[in-house]
Amino acid sequence: MSRTAIRLVLFDAFDTLITPRLPIHVQYAQEAHKHGLPESSITPASVRAAFKPAFRKTTERFPQWGRHAQPKPMSPSEWWMVCIEETMRLAGAEQGKLDQVMPRLGKALLDRFESAEGYRAFADVIPCCESANGRYGDPYEAHELAYKRPVTYLQQAGVKTGLVSNADDRILKTLGALGITPLLTHGTTISQVAGYEKPDPRIFQTACRSAGIERCEEGVLMVGDEVEADYHGALRAGLEARLIRRPGEFSDGAKRRSEDEEREMLHRDGVCVIRSLEEVVDEVRERNRQS
């Protein structure tokens, strides 16, 4: 393992920093019932079966969140309205009734997933990223206290932080609502704006440049939950990478194999796995103290 000091830590968003409060298909079904679609036709199971095909169809019809749609580009909210309607249609909604409720239902779902109602931050996120400027005079003064609590802070150690996500700009509202955006010292790099998706090396390189780092291979660490998009994508871009696997916590749409299958695959490929973001902080403290 490299012992270069870590200057920048980049995080994935979904299932790394944040996760749905309830499975997405459950939340979609809840809002559908609130807005008049009957429970007899729209169920969590029917929404779950419909969501991925609807997402795939909307993506094929309007790639890159509709940024090249004709005759004019779509906003992410417009793109999601199309996806939500297609999800409900495939889930069993009657078209006439769907036409009546979609303006209200679509807005309700957009609002829900831009807020703390739809998502929550993992318990180790704020302690990992939060600024403690002024709390301790020296970055390592709280060493013993940090390990007892344990609360350590990347910003306190002078490490830049940022985000790289295959998402549209609505995620900025979600991160803001959860108090995460101010903790990312060098902002967010999202695929809708960058024009590239992980695992494309260019999106990681864009994030590094945003943090003032031209050579990504020197002291940059990517933390994410998807093996190909986050881990191998970062390695191909020249970054170091850590794959996070919190025990038992990941959302319904996360790309995961069975536990036994994945354990064997990760071991075979030499993937560096961490169990919480506190391990990132531990590594930063150790490496940056020694450098």
CATH number of domain containing 34: 1.10.150.720
pLDDT in tens, 40-95: 999 999 999 999 999 999 999 999 899 889 999 999 999 999 999 999 999 999 99
Instruction: Based on the fold, state whether residues 33 and 177 are members of the same structural domain.
Output: no
Does 16 have pLDDT greater than 90?
yes
Domain identity same for 171 and 99: no
Residue at a domain's end among 112, 129, 157: 112
Cα torsion angle, 141, 144, 147, 149, sign: negative
Q: How confident is the model at residue 267 (pLDDT cuts 50, 70, 90)?
A: confident
209 and 130 within one domain = yes
Same domain as 157, residue 213: yes
* Co-location of 168 and 200 in the same domain: yes
Q: Is residue 1 situated within a structural domain?
A: no
Residue 2 inside a domain? The answer is: no
Residues 261 and 161 in one domain: yes
Q: Tell me whether residue 88 is in a domain.
A: yes
* Same structural domain, 145 and 285: yes
Rounded to the nearest 10°, the torsion over CA 147, 149, 154, 157 is -60
**pLDDT in the model for residue 146:** 40
In this structure, the answer to whether residues 207 and 154 fall within a common structural domain is yes
**pLDDT attached to residue 102:** 98
What's the domain count of the chain?
Answer: 2
Q: What is the mean pLDDT of residues 207-218?
A: 88
The phi and psi torsions of 8 (rounded to 5 degrees) equal -145, 130
Write down the pLDDT at residue 98: 97
Q: Are residues 139 and 123 in the same domain?
A: yes
Contact 239, 204 (CB under 8 A): yes
**For 102-145, what is each residue's pLDDT tens digit?**
999 999 999 999 999 999 999 888 878 764 443 333 434 444 43
Tokens of 127: 């302690």
CATH number of the domain where residue 203 is located: 3.40.50.1000
Above 90 in pLDDT, residue 177? yes
What is residue 135's predicted lDDT score, i.e. its pLDDT? Answer: 38
Q: Is residue 58 part of a domain?
A: yes
235 in any annotated domain: yes
Query: What per-residue confidence (pLDDT) applies to 117?
Result: 97
Domain with 67, as residue range(s), is: 24-112
Q: Are residues 123 and 76 in the same domain?
A: no
223 in the same domain as 139: yes
pLDDT band at 279, cuts 50/70/90? Answer: very high
Alpha-carbon gap, residue 253 to 229, rounded angstroms:
14
Residues of 109-125 as b/e, b for ≥16 C-beta within 10 angstroms?
Answer: bbebbbeeebbebbebb
152 belongs to a structural domain: yes
Could you tell me the pTM of the whole model? 0.86
Local confidence band at 254 (pLDDT 50, 70, 90 cut-offs): low
Is residue 3 assigned to a domain? no
